[in-house]
Amino acid sequence: MGTAVTHAPATEHLAKDSEPRHGPVKSPSPTALARRGRRENLAGYLFMSPWIAGFLLLTAGPMVASLYFAFTDYNLFDAPQWIGLDNFSEMFADPRWRHSVQVTLWYVVVGTPIKLIAALGVALLLAQKRRGQAFYRAAFYAPSLIGASVSVAIVWKAIFSDDAIVDRTQKIFGIDVGGWTGDPDMIIYSLVALTVWQFGAPMVIFLAGLKQVPRELYEAADVDGAGKLRQFWNITLPMISPVLFFNVLLETIHSFQIFSSAYIVGGGAGGNACGPADGSMVYTCYLYVQGFENSRMGLASAMAWMLLVAVALVTAVLFWSQKRWVHYEEGGR
Amino acid sequence: MSAQATDITPAPSSKGAIRRRLPGSLAWHLGSLAILAVILYPVVWVVGGSFKKSEDIVGSLDLFPADPIVDNYTSLTDGIADISISTFFVNSLLLAVGSVVGILISCSLTAYAFAKIRFAGRNLLFTLMIGTLLLPYHVLLIPQYVLFRNMDMINTYTPLLLGKYLATEAFFVFLMVQFMRNLPKELDEAARLDGCGHMRIYWSIVLPLCRPALITSAIFTFINAWNDFMGPLIYLNEPGKYTVSLGLKMFVDQEGLANYGGMIAMSLVALLPVLAFFLAFQRYLIDGMATSGLKG
C-alpha cells in the first residue's frame, strides 16, 4: 500500500491529462452523457487492450489457423497442402488413434467420479468444525499443487513399479499382477490414482460451498426427525449443486487434457512415447507424437479440433443437464 | 493473516454436537489421519528414498534407511549432461518471476475494465473471456508453435512469457474481477466525483484493496510456471536454456537408471520452491481456490 501512495502523484497527473473538461459538468445534458459514454468506451478498451491483443494473436487467430491446418498436409517445412477431409479419415481409420480415445475416455470416466466422490467425502468430514481442521485442509490440498510436476510423476512411476510398495501391498491380498506402470492394462490406473491423489482442489471448493449452507435447514430437519442420510440427500446435495456442477465441469475438461503425467509415467521419448504397448497413450500424447515427433502438423491439428469438439459436447451436455439437477438460489446466477 | 476473517462460520448447534462429541471426535481424527497418511506417503517416500542407495530405493519397504547417505545429493553437484543444476533453477526462476509480473499487470488491467468500467461490448467480451477458460490448450498448441516458429522465437522464452503479458490466463482475470466487484462501490464513486480518472482509481484505490487476489494470482502463477512441462518441452531445445522440469526429464532419459538416487534427490529438490511457497502462503492459495468456485 505504501508504494501505491508514493506513486500517486505521477498517475494523478496522467489521469488528469487524459480526462479534460470533466469537473464542472453537473446536470448531464444528452451530449455530455454521450461524451461520457464515449470516454468510458475508450477507457474500457484501453484497459482491455492487452487482453484483446492476446485474444486475437494467441487465441482467436490460432484457432482459425488450426482449423485450416486440419484440412491440410503440413510438415512445418513445406507450405500446407489442402487435402480436404483426408486427415479425418486417416484418423478414424488409425487403430492407434482409436486406442488413444479409448484410453482417454476410460481415464476420464473412471478417474473423475472417483476423484470428485473422494473430494466431496473428505469435504463433508472436514466441514465439521474440529481442532486441526485447517491443518488437514491445507495438507490435503498440497498434492494439487505439486501433482502436475515432473517430480511427482517420477515418484509415481517408482511407487507403482514392480516390487515397490503398491505391488507388495497387493501381494499381501493375494493379487499378483506385478507393478502397474510396467503393465499395458494397469498403467492407466496408476494415472487414475495420481489424479485421485489430487482431490484437494475440488475438496476446497466443496468445503466453501458447504460453509454456505444455512444451519437453520439442518436444525429444522433435526426437529422433523430426518436422518443424516436424508439430510445429505435433501438438503446438502441440492444446496451445493452449483459447486458440484462447477467441479464436475472443470475436472472433466481437465481430465480430457492430461498430458505431462502420462508422458512421464509412461516413459516418454522415442518409439515408446506413452507407456508399455501404448498403455498410457492418452489423446494429447498421441497428438504430441503426431505433431512434434512425426511433424504431421495438419493431422495433429485435426486431432486437436476433435478434442475441442468432444470437450464442447461434454460441456454442452453438462450445461443442458444442469437445469434438471442444479439449484440456484434467487439472486444468484 | 487478514484472510482468516472470511472463515467465520456460525457455531454449530450445540445440542447434537455435545452429545456425540467424544466418540465422534475420535472417529473424525482417525479418519483424517488415515487420509493424511495416504496423502503424505509419496512425499515421505521421496524424502526417505533420497537418502538411500540407488538399488534400495524402489524395493525396500523401510521409509527411512538405517544408514542414511548423502551421496545422492552430492552427485547433483556434477550437474546433468555437463550443465550445472543451478542453471536450470535460474532459468525456471526467471520464467516464473517473469510470468508473475506479466500476470499481475495484464490481468489486473483487464479485470479492472470488466469490473469497474461500463463500456459497450463488455458483456460479450466477458463471455468470450470465460469461454477461453474452457478451451482446451491443445487446440492452440500447434498454430501457436507455427506462429512463434515463423517469428524465429523457438528456443527463446518469449513464447512462454508473451501470453502472460497479454492476459491469456482467463482464470486470474476471473479471480480478480470477482474480487473487484465485491469492493465497496462508494469508494470509486467518490473518487470519480472528485475528478479522478480510471488510471488513478485503478492504481491508488482498486489495486491496493485487491492485494489478497493479487497475492493469490502471483503464487499460483509462480507455481504453474515452475511446474510447466509441456510449454518448455515444445519451445526449448537447447539444454542450457532448460527449466528444472525439462532438466529433470533429461536426467531421467540420460542417466535415470545409472543414478537412480540422484534422480530421486533431484525430484525432491525441484519440488522445494513449490513446497516453500505452499507453506508460506497456503491461506491465500486455499481461499483463492475456494472463491473461484463460488458465485460463478
In chain A, which residue ranges form alpha helices assigned H by DSSP?
Answer: 2-18, 30-54, 61-69, 86-93, 95-127, 133-146, 150-159, 165-172, 187-197, 200-211, 215-223, 228-231, 237-256, 260-265, 283-288, 297-325
The Cα–Cα gap between B211 and B135 comes to: 28
More confident site: A24 or B292: B292
Yes or no: say if B175 and B215 are a contact pair by the CB < 8 Å rule. no
Q: Domains plus CATH for chain A? A: 31-69 (no CATH), 87-325 (1.10.3720.10)
Q: Give pLDDT, residue B284.
A: 83
Residue B5's pLDDT band (boundaries 50, 70, 90)?
A: very low
Q: Give pLDDT, residue A5.
A: 33
Instruction: Render pLDDT for B189-227 as a digit per residue (tens, 0 to 9).
Output: 888 888 888 999 999 999 999 999 999 999 999 999 999
Instruction: Render pLDDT for B235-280 as a digit per residue (tens, 0 to 9).
Output: 999 999 999 999 998 888 887 667 888 889 999 999 999 999 888 8
Q: Give pLDDT, residue B36.
A: 93
Yes or no: say if B140 and A58 are a contact pair by the CB < 8 Å rule. yes
Residue type, A116: L
The Cα–Cα gap between B205 and B198 comes to: 10
Quick one: which of B215, B225, B115, B117 has its CA closest to B174? Answer: B115
The backbone torsions φ and ψ at residue B77, rounded to the nearest 5 degrees and listed phi first, read -65, -15
- Grid cell 524402489 is found at B58
Residue B196 and residue A15: Cβ atoms within 8 Å? Answer: yes
Yes or no: say if B273 and B244 are a contact pair by the CB < 8 Å rule. no
The Cα–Cα gap between A41 and B156 comes to: 36
The backbone torsions φ and ψ at residue A253, rounded to the nearest 5 degrees and listed phi first, read -60, -40
The Cα–Cα gap between B108 and B285 comes to: 18
The Cα–Cα gap between B98 and B163 comes to: 11
B181 touches A at CB < 8 Å? no
Of A21-25, B84-88, B130-134, give the lowest mean pLDDT range.
A21-25
A and B: number of Cβ contacts within 8 A: 314
Q: Give pLDDT, residue A28.
A: 59
The Cα–Cα gap between B244 and B93 comes to: 9
Query: Cell numbers of B273, please?
Result: 520452491
Residue B117 and residue A15: Cβ atoms within 8 Å? Answer: no
What residues of chain B, 64 to 83, have a C-beta less than 8 Å from chain A? Answer: none
Q: Give pLDDT, residue A46.
A: 95
A295 touches B at CB < 8 Å? no
Q: What share of chain A is helix, strand, coil (3-state, %, to 5)?
A: 75, 0, 25
Average pLDDT of adjacent 10-residue blocks, chain A of 333 residues: 34 39 54 81 94 96 95 92 95 95 95 96 89 88 91 90 79 80 86 95 92 89 87 91 92 93 74 72 92 94 96 94 81 42
How near does any CA of chain B get to the CA of A236, in Å? 15
Query: Cell numbers of B145, please?
Result: 508453435
Q: Give pLDDT, residue A257.
A: 92
A204, burial (CB in 10 Å: exposed 0-12, middle 13-18, buried 19+)? buried
A78, burial (CB in 10 Å: exposed 0-12, middle 13-18, buried 19+)? exposed
The Cα–Cα gap between A218 and B236 comes to: 56
Strand partners, A274: A267
Domain at B85-293: CATH code: 1.10.3720.10
Residue A15 and residue B197: Cβ atoms within 8 Å? Answer: yes
Of B128, B204, B293, the CB nearest to A247: B293
The Cα–Cα gap between A278 and A154 comes to: 18
Q: At what angle do helices A297-325 and B138-150 cross, to 10 degrees?
A: 140
Residue B198 and residue A47: Cβ atoms within 8 Å? Answer: yes
The Cα–Cα gap between A55 and A49 comes to: 10
A22 touches B at CB < 8 Å? yes
% of chain B beyond a pLDDT of 70? 90
Domain ranges of chain B: 21-69, 85-293
Query: Cell numbers of A98, please?
Result: 482409436
Q: Give pLDDT, residue A7.
A: 35
* 3-state SS class at A72: strand
Whether B55 has a pLDDT exceeding 90, the answer reads: no
Quick one: which of A123, A134, A131, A191 has its CA closest to A157? Answer: A191
How near does any CA of chain A get to the CA of B85, in Å? 15
What residues of chain A, 116 to 175, have a C-beta less than 8 Å from chain B? Answer: 122, 125-126, 128-130, 132, 136-143, 145-146, 148-152, 154-156, 158-159, 161-165, 168
B interface test, pick of A14, A36, A40, A59 with most B CB neighbours within 10 Å: A59
Q: Give pLDDT, residue B107.
A: 96
Q: Is the entire prediction scored with pTM above 0.90?
A: no
Residue B139 and residue A45: Cβ atoms within 8 Å? Answer: no
Chain A residues with CB inside 8 Å of B204's CB? 4-5, 7-8, 11
How near does any CA of chain A get to the CA of B131, in Å? 10
- Long-range pairs for B91-95 at CB < 8 Å and ≥24 separation? B91/B241, B91/B242, B91/B243, B91/B244, B92/B225, B92/B226, B92/B243, B92/B244, B92/B245, B94/B157, B95/B157, B95/B160, B95/B161, B95/B225, B95/B228, B95/B232, B95/B243
Query: Cell numbers of B123, please?
Result: 458483456
Q: What is the ipTM, given to two decimal places?
A: 0.85
* 3-state SS class at A82: strand
* 3-state SS class at A64: helix
Distances A299 to A72, A79, A97, A134 between C-alpha atoms, Å: 8, 14, 11, 49
